[in-house]
Chain A
Amino acid sequence: MSWRAILTLVLLAGAVLSGLALWSQRHPEHSTEAAAGRPDYVLHDFELISLDENGRESFTLRAPRLARDPDQKTLDIATPLFLIPTQPGSTSDAWQIRSATGWVSADGSELRLRGKVAATSDGRNGPVTTMATDQLNVFPKAKRAESATLVTIRRPGSILRGRGLEVSLATKQYSFKSEVQTRYVPTRR
């Protein structure tokens, strides 16, 4: 066999090997993503009660679907209903908050609610208050919520709207950073 034939065979083998290598790597990101994207457990139509470090209820969550990310240990929830209780002896209201989607951090200290967010206080310690926005980050242990987008707050006799909300669910102290509009409608006359 002449050296020319040998050379041809070697080149042919090289081409085949590199083609095989390329073919096996064709969707590297899919293969890893499929593993990463896959929750390690999924719940349907559940109620979850999250307790703080003292064993007290931090919040209760009800939803039709929850999926847990095994790496981040975070929860992704469809149409969640969060129930944030008042603390014993405190003068704060209990709140219930709904949204299109929810995300819960690994330690349960932060809830990110997105899409048609509606929060309502139960009015046990003051006028019933509702909040409507597209995004709300809630910190149940700190009894605090914030939003960077426009929020509308309604109370009997007034509508308050603004951007950059920070509110304490415990003391009902709030502030807006910009674009503030308030309308008071006389309730008695």
Chain B
Amino acid sequence: RSSDRNQPMDIDAGATSGTLDDRQPTVLSGGVTIKQGTLHIEAGQATVSTRGGDPVRAVLTGGPVRLRQQMDDGTQMNAVANKVDYDLTTEIVVFTDTVRIQQPRGSLSGERVVYNMRTGQVNSGGEGNGRVKMRIVPRNAGTTPAPGGG
């Protein structure tokens, strides 16, 4: 949700190192969990960059990385990839390496997917990024016709 950005971000990890100012990103390891509003990410390692004390970018690897977030329309987005690069200011996420994205409207898999969490816009594949497989679920697929065709 767009409101997620105004919520506190809580990060748990096994170990961490960095600087007590913005000069260097904070490196977290030993199993990392990031929560911010409806955003929930789990990964092996994470590197979080800050500006003025605010987190502006999170690069997560290992695991694989599992990310879920509720969209503004209330639907849930689930993603799995070996690497996730989340720009927290533009809310554009680049998923790379064995990417699978699952949403009620369909699913998508490939090697590189760029996802705009604000608009839900998706760009995937491209030069040297392998093929993309997409499945779009018809809007009324969920409603099975009542017996007797009523």
Contact surface of A with B, Cβ cutoff 8 Å: 121, 126-127, 129, 153, 155-158, 160, 162, 167, 171-178, 180-189
Contact = CB atoms under 8 A, between A and B. Distances in A.
A176 to B, nearest CB: 5
Task: Give the residue among A162, A172, A173, A184 with the most B Cβ atoms within 10 A.
Answer: A184
A176 B6 contact: no
A172 B11 CA distance: 20
A186 B52 CA distance: 10
B16 A162 contact: yes
Interface of B: 5-21, 23-24, 26, 28, 30, 50, 52-55
A158 B49 CA distance: 13
Contacts of B24: 173
Given A157-B54, A187-B54, A189-B6, A182 B19 contact: no
B14 A187 contact: no
Contacts of A155: 20-21, 53
B52 A183 contact: no
Given A185-B8, A189-B6, A174 B17 contact: yes
Contacts of A171: 19
B20 A181 contact: no
Contact of B53 (A157, A167, A180, A189): A157
B53 A187 contact: yes
Given A155-B53, A157-B54, A184-B50, A167 B20 contact: yes
5 contacts: A182-B11, A182-B16, A182-B26, A184-B50, A186-B54
B16 A180 contact: yes
A173 B19 contact: yes
A180 B13 contact: yes
B117 to A, nearest CB: 16
A155 B28 CA distance: 18
A174 B18 CA distance: 6
Contact of A184 (B13, B18, B54): B54
Contacts of B11: 180-184
B50 to A, nearest CB: 7
Contacts of B7: 186
A173 B17 contact: yes
A155 B52 CA distance: 10
